[in-house]
Amino acid sequence: MKMSTMFGATLHTAPGRSESEGHQLLQRAAMLRQVGQGIFAYLPLGWRTIRKIEAVLRAELERVGGQEVSMPVVNPAELWKQSGRYFTIGPELTRFQDRRGRELVLAMTHEELVTFLGRSEIESYRQLPRLVFQLQTKFRDDPRPRAGLIRVREFVMKDAYSFDVDAAGLAARYRTQYQAYFNIFRRCGLPVAAVGSDVGMMGGSLAHEFVYLTPIGEDTLLICDSCGFAANREAATFGKPAPSTAPWAELAEIATPGATTIAALTAALGVPAAETAKAIFLAVSREKRDQPVRTEFILAVVRGDMEANETKIGNLVQAAELRPMTEEEIAEIGAVAGYGSPVGATGVTVIVDELVAASTNLVAGANREGVHLRNVNVGRDYVADHVGDITAARAGDACVECGSALRTARGVEVGQIFQLGTRYSTALGAEYLDADGQRRPVAMGCYGIGVGRLLACLAEEHRDERGLRLPVTIAPYQVHLTLLDDLASAAGELARRVYDELWAAGVEVLFDDRAERAGVKFADADVIGLPLRVTIGRRSVADGAAEVRDRVTGVTTQVPLAAVVAELVRRIAALRADIDATVVPVELPAEVFAD
């Protein structure tokens, strides 16, 4: 590729604003351009990098038996209705009708469609296990696109799906994918951590996220440096303190004017927050087949010194999206904001944290302005519809594995794997005949990586104040050849010869043959960030040597012209070997071993 004919120009400053410096560099390096909110176009340099990342993905998936397929982004809505997700996923799922009135969706993921294919193609246990994958553009109408490619609406996704005879087979496939994901990210040059995560709208029994740790990340992780425990805050459990277990005392009202917060309540009564109960009012709108949308009210209770985790609450009531109740809705159930509790509330699903259920004699709202209740107890003063862990872990909480203090970190999820089990195969009828002739649902897993998001994280990880510093495995080209003279000069003739010889030797070269000043060319080479830069000018002709510069180390050496091609081939091989050396077996967490 010659820069004089390249489609797309490097920029001195990035257009627009972004909290991601890596994203700004991707724009300056002529990798991509924004065309709408959360929608981007890749220019030639960026698209070559995307294809390099895809090549790594294909190689590692095929290494573990994956077969590539292509599934349509437009899906019949009926498949999503059969799984139930048509009714539980909100407006992020784009629904529409064709000219004949048939209901369709733009797939944001492909569990339904691949299950449909499994139903048609798998008949016997002899056809299992199977693993298929695709690289495809998807659309999710995200309400809050941010940080460039970190959160977008249209995106390229690698999604893989496994089919097995039973849970044991699925667990084995999951372990294989766990290792394959580390191989993928290491070959791309991205350090990641695997953390336990919530299964979310995908469903299933187990999930892990692969997270790149960065301050711009929107996920909060809880990490134990003592034993290695790590989990997304949405799913993290922690060692909770021992509850108070004194005998039930008599319920009593107490005036608490103006005490609408836990802090104000504890100050007014002189009690610790651990002896109070906090009410959280939430609502969920549900839609079912051939039924109007209905709104359900949820009242969750956690101890006053804890924070509620809406993801955990949603899982207990099988709700993908929760929203705060309005004051009118709170009044409708007989409660009062700031003085609320389940005591006397009606028409609401009550969810109680396990610690509250085990504690006695807490202070809770009386559902009357300016009044609280002492000695409120679950089971006597109100009934819980669900009891479970609905609290959010925080820095300093005890690790559930070893008891040490947890710390928090920010990160970006670049991949996630799920054990779906029979959640989709049962709903859509994907069955096989076992050795005894009995029909059984296939056990499924799904495994996703956002390709654009991976590029965004690579740009964050591999950069300096001058520009990108891309790893050799994913850089659009391996060598940036810079000519510091006219094309018609002796140096130009020499540069053209080196360019041709490098391509003949299998080296991918970006040739800056433009009539620009040396400073402009060097600045552009730095911002694009190819692994090696070769400079040829009048001095090269005079001295018989080219200047070779390593983008990461900044070390520059003079290499005889007769040896420059062989030297670059050697260096590229060395860079690849360095990355290959990082691809090693990883230790699997205990939950991944479970069948």
Name 265's Cβ contacts closer than 8 Å, sequence gap at least 6: 256, 259, 271, 276, 304, 363, 372
The predicted pLDDT at position 595 comes to 58
Are 326 and 412 in the same domain?
no
Specify if 241 maps to a domain.
Answer: no
Locus of tokens 């391509």: 503
Q: Using the structure block, give the residue that is written with the tokens 């101890």.
A: 303
Greatest CA span in the chain, whole angstroms?
99
Asked whether residue 595 is domain-assigned, the answer is no
Prediction pTM value? 0.92
Q: Are 286 and 333 within one domain?
A: yes
The residue behind tokens 């799906």 is 161
Print the SS3 string covering 318-345. Answer: CCCCCEECCHHHHHHCCCCCCCCCCCCC
Helices in 480-551 by DSSP H: which ranges? Answer: 490-504, 518-528, 538-543
Q: In this structure, which long-range contacts are made by residues 251-256, counting pairs with CB atoms below 8 Å and at least 24 apart in sequence?
A: 251/373, 251/374, 251/375, 251/376, 251/381, 252/373, 252/374, 252/375, 253/366, 253/371, 253/372, 253/373, 253/374, 254/363, 254/371, 254/372, 254/373, 254/374, 255/370, 255/371, 256/339, 256/370, 256/371, 256/372
Residues 324, 257: one domain? yes
Examine the domain organization and report whether 298 and 373 are in the same domain: yes
Q: What are phi and psi of 592, to 5 degrees?
A: -75, -25
Do 158 and 64 reside in the same domain of the chain?
yes
Contact assessment for residue 66 and residue 163, using Cβ atoms and an 8 Å cutoff: no
| Residue 169 and residue 301 in one domain | no
Q: Give the domain-ending residue among 388, 422, 446.
A: 388
- 393 within 8 A of 218, measured Cβ to Cβ: no
* Cα 31 to Cα 28: distance, rounded to the nearest angstrom: 8
Contact assessment for residue 383 and residue 397, using Cβ atoms and an 8 Å cutoff: no
> CA torsion, points 146, 150, 155, 157, in degrees to nearest 10?
-150
**E strands, 451-567, where?**
463-464, 467-468, 479-483, 509-512, 532-536, 545-550, 556-560
The whole-angstrom separation of Cα 445 and Cα 432 is 16
Q: Domain end: 325, 357, 388, which one?
A: 388
- Give domain status of residue 100, yes or no: yes
The amino acid present at 485, given as its one-letter code, is: D
* Same domain as 383, residue 269: yes
Looking at the structure, tell me whether residues 293 and 364 fall in a common domain: yes
Distance CA 319, CA 593 (A): 29
232 is a domain residue: no
Residue 235 lies in a domain: no
Same domain membership, residue 360 and residue 215: no
Q: Is 219 helix (H, G, I), strand (E, B) or coil?
A: strand
Residue 517 belongs to some domain of the structure: yes
For residue 351, what are its two tokens? 């969810």
pLDDT of residue 290: 67
Where residue 115 sits, what CATH number does that domain have?
A: 3.30.930.10
Q: What are phi and psi of 163, to 5 degrees?
A: -125, 130
Contact by Cβ (8 Å): 141, 111: no
Taken in order 34, 40, 43, 45, the sign of the CA dihedral is positive
Q: Say if strands 193-196 and 206-213 run parallel, antiparallel, or are unpaired.
A: antiparallel
Strand order in the sheet with 277-286: 323-324, 277-286, 294-303, 349-353, 386-388
Domain range for 137 is: 18-220+407-460
Are 454 and 481 in the same domain?
A: no
- Which residue is it, tokens 């802090």? 263
Residues 251/364, Cβ–Cβ less than 8 Å? no
For residue 541, what is the domain's CATH number? 3.40.50.800
Mean pLDDT by 10 residues, the chain (595 residues): 96 86 96 95 98 98 98 97 91 95 97 98 98 96 90 96 97 97 98 91 86 94 94 94 92 97 96 97 82 87 96 87 93 96 96 97 97 97 96 96 96 96 97 97 98 97 97 98 95 96 98 96 98 96 96 97 97 98 92 71
Q: How far apart are CA 531 and CA 59, in angstroms?
A: 22
Q: Are 315 and 446 found together in one domain? A: no
Strands 67-68, 130-139: pairing is parallel
Residue 229 lies in a domain: no
Confirm whether 496 is domain-assigned. yes
Number of domains making up the chain: 3
End-to-end CA distance of the chain: 51
Same domain, 173 and 30: yes
Q: What are the φ/ψ torsions at residue 255 (nearest 5 degrees)?
A: -75, 130
Cα 80 from Cα 105, distance rounded (Å): 8
**Would you give the DSSP letter of residue 141?**
-
